[in-house]
Amino acid sequence: MRTFISAITTLSVVSCADIHAGAQPPALTLKVEQLTAGSRHHFFGYIGQCQTIPWNAGGRYILCLQIDRIDRMPLPDEAATVCVIDTQQDNRVIEVDKTRGWNPQQGTMFYWHPKQAASQFFFNDRDPETGRVFTVLYDLKNKKRLREYRFRDTPIGNGGVSADGTFFMGLNYGRLARLRMVTGYPDALDWSKGETAPANDGIFRVDIKTGEKKLLVSYKDLHELLLKENPKLNHSGLFINHTLLNRSGTRLYFFARGGWSGSKGEKINIPCSIHTDGSGLTLHQRHIGGHPEWDLGNVLIGRKGRDQVLYDVDKKKIVGKIGSPELFPNPEGDISLSPDGRMFVNGYKRGDKNHYAVYRRNDRAFGRSKGLNKGSYSGDIRIDPAPRWNRSNDAILVPGLAENKTRQIFLIRVEEAR
């Protein structure tokens, strides 16, 4: 455990007035603080789920992982240290547990428990003897694991927690690692590896209180729907990416994929949606980019061409857009909407740096950051922009490289320009 003092730097601001003629919307100032430091690396995780807030309910603690190296995927026995950053104690990093269910891009799928967000959170782990993945519910107040969600027949890990805290999505991270390494945990047990579209694997729904699980949609279900669209479909195995629960927990949007990472057969990348009661499985013809985010209701934020668009999953069509290509040069970047739905951030790459464009929807206030160094890391160990809002809608957690080239956690505060 170490104590760190935050260094604050003011980033450059670009006003909408520089882009649009006419009335000048307000400008935003973006200030960055380096929260962690030292010889070890610290990070939270990637952008693949909706409403993942790193801060606890009171805003004092921020979840993070601490690791020794970032130049490769972890070996099966290499554990990451589960930590919290105490923002009331000079950003002291407090070690609380260990996990073998993680990778350098995703982290360990941290979620504060919506029903007990002051002290309880979820993360994934992996049994070192069996390779079986499971989800942990940890209590910071009592400094112990309250529960481990272990399923011997289908060892799954958390893939997204509902906003009301009643259930989480479960995924086979062994299958994900086999078919696209960056999405899973190396050498995790994959019980369905012998089948391209198994009937006993897919997306599970796990009741947080009772621990009961059910298979929401199987790979077999997806395969049969895909065959209706393309009877000649030939793939070497399906997997699932980005299980995105909407803000009410009633709808799930995800990608059915295959043929990645050099696998044989056709490359598949089909967006899908389903009600979280298991009904209404739907394939979507309109692809809105690989990193969408839920807006309010059943509308997603994504990309069409150069535009940051709004896509209605019920109507299956684009119903609006946010900002302009001048504001968001890469609408395919990592995007995140604040808890109140007013603040939007697009994180995008240029060279060896990540940049952030922040937009307030009600009055078009805008600010753009200078770049944060991400180094030359690429592929499975890349450092994506991955912005995450706090609960008060005025700060974003982001990754970057410190001056000593370690990966650290940074905070971007969003303020009114003066």
Q: What are 26-43's pLDDT values in tens digits?
A: 999 999 999 999 999 999
The pLDDT assigned to 309 comes to: 97
Q: What is the pTM of this model?
A: 0.92
Question: For residue 55, what is the enclosing H or E element?
Answer: none
- CA 167 to CA 165: how far, in whole Å? 6
pLDDT tens digits for range 57-73: 999 999 999 999 999 99
- CA 223 to CA 234: how far, in whole Å? 10
pLDDT at 14 over 70: no
Q: From 45, 2, 10, select the one nearest 29 (Cα to Cα).
A: 10
Percent of the chain with pLDDT over 90: 84
Classify 373 as helix, strand or coil.
Answer: strand
The radius of gyration of the chain's CA atoms, rounded to the nearest angstrom, is: 21
The pLDDT assigned to 9 comes to: 34
Bridge partners for 282 per DSSP:
273
Mean pLDDT of 312-330: 95
Q: Is the dihedral of CA 318, 322, 324, 328 positive or negative?
A: negative
What's the whole-number average pLDDT of the chain? 91
* Cα separations in angstroms, 191 against 171, 173, 306, 392: 12, 10, 41, 42
Contacts of 387 (CB under 8 A, 6+ apart): 47, 334, 335, 336, 345, 347, 356, 396, 397, 398, 412
Classify 321 as helix, strand or coil.
Answer: strand
Percent of the chain with pLDDT over 70: 93
pLDDT at 20 over 80: no
Q: From 147, 202, 126, 195, select the one nearest 171 (Cα to Cα).
A: 202
Bridge partners for 136 per DSSP:
123, 148
Q: Do residues 21 and 398 lie in contact, with contact meaning Cβ atoms separated by under 8 Å?
A: no
Classify 77 as helix, strand or coil.
Answer: coil
- CA 136 to CA 15: how far, in whole Å? 44
Q: DSSP letter at 143?
A: T
The pLDDT assigned to 338 comes to: 97
- CA 223 to CA 62: how far, in whole Å? 40
The pLDDT assigned to 13 comes to: 35
Cα 405 from chain centroid (whole Å): 24
Lowest mean pLDDT among 177-191, 246-260, 262-276: 262-276
pLDDT tens digits for range 218-233: 999 999 999 998 888 8
Provide the pairing of β-strand 317-322 with 307-312.
Answer: antiparallel
Q: What is the CATH number of domain 7-416?
A: 2.130.10.10
Provide the pairing of β-strand 299-304 with 293-294.
Answer: antiparallel
Bridge partners for 185 per DSSP:
none
Mean pLDDT of 342-359: 96
Question: For residue 227, what is the enclosing H or E element?
Answer: helix 219-229
Strands annotated E in 118-267: 120-126, 133-139, 144-149, 157-161, 167-171, 202-207, 213-218, 238-245, 251-258
